[in-house]
Amino acid sequence: MASGKLTVVISQAPGKNPVKRALEEDIAVQLMLGGQVDVSVIPHLYDLPADHTGLMFLRSLPGHFVILSWLYPRAAHWVLDRQKIGGRLGRTRLVDEDEDEAETDDDSVAILAEMNGAHAETASETHGKTSRTIWSIDLRVRSDAAAYVEEIQRIAAEIAVPVVSLGLSFPSKSTPPQAPSTLPVISPPTPIAEIGAASGANTSGSVQQIGTEELTKRRWYPVIDYSRCTNCMECIDFCLFGVYGVDALDRILVEQQDSCKKGCPACSRVCPANAIIFPEHKTAAIAGADGDGPAAFKVDLSKLFGGGNDSAESALEMAVKERDQELVADGREAVGMKVGIPKRQEGKAQSPRDNLDDLLDSLDSF
């Protein structure tokens, strides 16, 4: 951050998909040539062990940054949070084309207010860094590097404006990284011509590769969205593999992440608040696709139109089946519905089904 530029971190796709690598490289090169931001590349965020140099680098960042990853923004945000890299989730205008962008303006206002000293409280803030924003961008929403570069330039300009217009100055190197009020000093955009003239000097940065040569093994574990979690403990009751634990304040946490069974999203299905994310699951809602209400993600109607068997399994039935499969694979006995069944859902199953109308109408109203 010594350069005072916005930091952009590219989290690589797992595996070696050449198309994905090419997009990552295109973005990195274009950003580097633009010279307005510092670019770093780390391996796939979700797979990183806590002591990985990539995470240590992220933890060392004192101010705002942008992370581009092959994950839903909400998933990336809570993976970072889990690794004690906290901040306010910045909204990006670069979203899936069909998603609503209505909140963008409000958010910009909030960011500006915050830059002026206001403290916007949002539930997503943890680990103390309420003063900084982390913009999380999903690399799957566009296939061309230019769209990402443009959005990053917009973000860089957005956070640069108030700093410049208020004439504030911040000590850069002397500021301790943990100071909550630290804001990056953003230089005014440098004209391309100038960059060209100065190439070879320190203005046009290089792309910093951080731990990308180390092999990271693929992982599978739940990530808790603490803005949704109600600490109801149904996940810890349901999971029989010892993944969950509680901290000194009795708050739920993912304690033994590597005890989790690859591919099993059962706890996510029993979570009444939809707070458990498996970033690599194929169902968008489980993988952390954004949205708060029932209308925010899509219903899979495949079963109705001829897919799978005809049984309409509830989320709980699916979860029980998935858990039993893992128990048996471990040489343990299947427990079915006998253990750790959420009380809330048990009650729900017995009550008469209410009308679909409310649901459909709520969908309509969105």
Output the smallest distance, CB 256 to other proteins, in A: 24
Could you tell me which residues are beta bridge partners of residue 89? 134
Question: Among residues 331 and 352, whose Cβ is nearest to other proteins?
Answer: 352
Q: Cα(290)–Cα(99) distance, rounded to whole angstroms? A: 10
Question: Among residues 83 and 274, whose Cβ is nearest to other proteins?
Answer: 274
Output the smallest distance, CB 211 to other proteins, in A: 34
Crossing angle (nearest 10°) for helices 18-34 and 145-165: 30
Question: Among residues 169 and 302, whose Cβ is nearest to other proteins?
Answer: 302
Question: Among residues 331 and 347, whose Cβ is nearest to other proteins?
Answer: 347
Output the smallest distance, CB 138 to other proteins, in A: 17
Looking only at the bridges linking them, the beta strands covering 252-254 and 244-246 are: antiparallel
Output the smallest distance, CB 358 to other proteins, in A: 8
Q: Cα(269)–Cα(287) distance, rounded to whole angstroms? A: 12
- Judged by the rule CB under 8 A, the positions of this chain that interact with other proteins are 98, 268-269, 272, 274, 283, 285-286, 294-295, 298-307, 312-318, 345, 353, 355-357, 359-360, 363-364
CA 207 to each of CA 27, 35, 210: distance values in angstroms, whole numbers, following the listed order: 10, 11, 9
Output the smallest distance, CB 60 to other proteins, in A: 37
Name the residue among 234, 254, 233, 252 with its Cα closest to residue 242: 254
Segment holding 156, helix H or strand E: helix 145-165
- Tell me the three-class secondary structure of 69-121, residue by residue: ECCCHHHHHHHHHHCCCCCEEECCCCCCCCCCCCCHHHHHHHHHHHHCCCCCC
Could you tell me which residues are beta bridge partners of residue 90? 135
Output the smallest distance, CB 285 to other proteins, in A: 5
Residue 210 token pair? 């951080």
Output the smallest distance, CB 291 to other proteins, in A: 11
Question: Among residues 253 and 315, whose Cβ is nearest to other proteins?
Answer: 315
- How far does Cα 273 stand from its chain's mean position? 17
Question: Among residues 40 and 274, whose Cβ is nearest to other proteins?
Answer: 274
Exposed, middle or buried: residue 283 (CB in 10 Å: 0-12, 13-18, 19+)?
A: middle
Output the smallest distance, CB 220 to other proteins, in A: 17
Crossing angle (nearest 10°) for helices 104-115 and 145-165: 40
Phi first, then psi, for residue 208 (nearest 5°) are -90, 120
Exposed, middle or buried: residue 106 (CB in 10 Å: 0-12, 13-18, 19+)?
A: exposed
Question: Among residues 18 and 352, whose Cβ is nearest to other proteins?
Answer: 352
Q: How many residues does this entry show for the chain? A: 366
Question: Among residues 246 and 304, whose Cβ is nearest to other proteins?
Answer: 304
Question: Among residues 51 and 310, whose Cβ is nearest to other proteins?
Answer: 310
Output the smallest distance, CB 284 to other proteins, in A: 9
Q: Cα(313)–Cα(229) distance, rounded to whole angstroms? A: 24
Output the smallest distance, CB 272 to other proteins, in A: 7
Question: Among residues 220 and 278, whose Cβ is nearest to other proteins?
Answer: 278
Q: Which residue shows structure tokens 């349901």?
A: 238
